Amino acid sequence: MQSQKNLSIAHAWFEAFNHHNLDKLLSLYDDEAQHFSPKLKVKLPETNGYISGKEALQSWWQDAFNRLPTLHYKVTSLTSNSDRVFMEYIRTVEGENEMLVAEVLEIKDNKIIASRVYHS
């Protein structure tokens, strides 16, 4: 069942992210995957919050892992269907307030083709 497979992808995503394992994280994505984040919009205004492709994803996350070595996500809820996973989690960084985050992973052929982050 694709819904279960998509949940497995989400679990692998959290595992890779929380271990700051970029190779494993990127292996979950399609080569041309798109990503939107409000933090991208602030840090790199020229992107308007959007980046595309594994090279851009790698650069974005490597920068985050370098700047925030204690960055960690705690899953609070996962909901999946045949083509996406809606993830809710708590973003923690030592010395910063916790942040509630929602993220949607769009999945096709067992690869993430798009992700969108929402938070306040």
What's the CATH code of the domain at 15? 3.10.450.50
Q: What is the pLDDT of residue 49?
A: 95
Q: Which of 10, 1, 40, 11 is nearest to 107 (CA)?
A: 10
pLDDT above 90 (res 81): yes
**Mean pLDDT score, 28-44:** 95
**Mean pLDDT score, 24-42:** 96
Structure confidence at residue 1 as a pLDDT band (50, 70, 90):
confident
Total structural domains within the chain: 1
Three-state SS annotation for the chain: CHHHHHHHHHHHHHHHHHCCCHHHHHHCEEEEEEEECHHHHHHCHHHCCEEECHHHHHHHHHHHHHHCCCCEEEEEEEEECCCEEEEEEEEECCCCCCEEEEEEEEEECCEEEEEEEEEC
Q: Is the pTM of this model over 0.85?
A: yes
Boundaries of domain holding 110? 2-119
pLDDT above 80 (res 120): no
